[in-house]
Amino acid sequence: MRQELSSEQKRMAKRLMIALDYPDAEQASLMIDKLEGIPCYMKVGMQLFYAAGPELIKDLKRRGYSVFVDLKMHDIPNTVKGGAESLTQLGADMFNVHASGGSAMMEAARAGAVAAISINPSLSMPLIIAVTQLTSTSQEVMNNEIGISGKVTDTVVRYAKLAAEAGLDGVVASPQESAAITEACGPAFCIVTPGIRPAGSSMDDQSRTMTPGQAIQQGSHYLVIGRPITASADPRQSALNIIEEMIQA
């Protein structure tokens, strides 16, 4: 019999986002079953969404989970507006766009969500966040391949300010930039941080990482964690260990 989580564990679990990076709904469902009783966010990215479609989001909502739909929209404003309207109608609690798409595109994302709610007032307004620089992007890649000069932190903060001015709720950024974003945009501006790696675990394809405790101390609101939990021999215990580290931080 699984032990009931404490109120503090449940509170902190809501700041943990499990990355369901699976090729189909069946494999994702097996992982969700292993995490039963932990009221975390579920993050659905491109691989799973493209395979399982909108019905998966509806199923996760029926099971009581908050859902972050991580599709990183980046297109002309009208197309992004339509995508945002559809995701809001699905019941997504959070979705994202690329800040590099510009102010008009980010404003269109918010307009799409508002349009969906105007049609169906029973819907809740999702958190809309902007991707700054991917956590796999190093200083060298940003400068020499993407073609953006300067330091990664400066670019991330500039994108964060742009997102705030466009009316978005926050950004996706590495935990290494969390403190600078908070200083620039205020403590209420939401920071979602991938690239979280518990001490001693593999960095995989991430470049700018921190441990869960360090990320919380730096001001991250939500931590996105995939392989350190989903590839673990005991995913549930790994998730609980991370939640405990977040609490201690």
Gyration radius of the chain over CA positions: 17
| Residue whose tokens read 């964060």 | 160
Sole residue written with tokens 């009208």: 78
Chain center to CA of 23: 19
Rounded Cα gap, residues 114 and 50, in angstroms: 25
DSSP SS3 for 7: helix
Residue 61: active-site member: no
Contact 88, 112 (CB under 8 A): yes
CA-to-CA dists, residue 16 to 107, 119, 160, 184, 246, angstroms: 27, 31, 21, 24, 9
The total of other beta-carbon atoms located within 10 Å of residue 147's CB is: 7
> How many whole angstroms separate alpha carbon 133 and alpha carbon 153?
9
* Residues 137, 24: Cα–Cα separation, whole Å: 27
Number of other CB atoms surrounding residue 186 within 10 Å:
9
Distance CA 170, CA 185 (A): 9
Q: In sequence order, which residues have a C-beta less than 8 Å from that of residue 186 and are 6 or more positions away?
A: none
Single out the catalytic residue among 34, 61, 72, 161: 72
Residues serving a catalytic function are 72
